Amino acid sequence: MSKKNKIKKVNSYSSDSDEMMRMIKMLGLVILILGAFYLIFAIASGEISFGSKKKDTQIQNVEILAGNSFKREEGSYYVLFYDFDAKDSYKYSDIYTLFRENVNTSKLYVVDLSKKFNSKYVVEDASFVNINSEDTLKVVNGTLMKVEGGQGISKAIGVEQIKNELFTVQ
């Protein structure tokens, strides 16, 4: 009888360790699944990128999503839409920097058109640009929009028009 009791105890310990291993494996699987979801979301949102993208860290303080362009607290402000990854992005970044350093009367937000969340607002042809409301918003790379009271009231497309709008109308 004593041999049977010993065998039962050994089996009991074995089943406890098996349950513990199954629990650890399930916990590991849950962590892997959550990690995969985070990685997918981070890549889609642009938080993680695989390349040498160099962004001006000062712009991050005023970067918004295109869908939030009409929802800012200020009564009157500008929104500059451009692709941070485009060859000419430095021109728009320079405009932002000049505006921030020289104009204190208005706020200027920027929208990165290379992010997936903003892609539904981008059109290729400037004749389709629409800044009336969030529902109809369509922009091209290098669009400046002036917003007052939650409505887009004026637009400028291209570096020269944007400079004229920001620096001569003040």
Mean pLDDT calculated for residue range 78-91: 92
Residue 60: pLDDT band (50, 70, 90) is very low
pLDDT per residue as tens digits for the range 103-150: 767 788 999 999 988 989 999 988 889 898 888 899 999 999 999 988
Element (H, E) at 155: strand 151-157
Q: How far is CA 75 from CA 38, 106, 115, 129, in A?
A: 36, 10, 26, 23
In the chain, alpha helices (H): 2-45, 89-102, 159-168
Nearest to 120 by CA among 134, 103, 106: 134
Asked whether the predicted pLDDT for residue 31 surpasses 90, the reply is yes
Mean pLDDT calculated for residue range 47-52: 69
Q: Give pTM, 2 decimals.
A: 0.63
- Selected residue with higher pLDDT from 97 and 52: 97
Q: Indicate the DSSP class of residue 42.
A: H
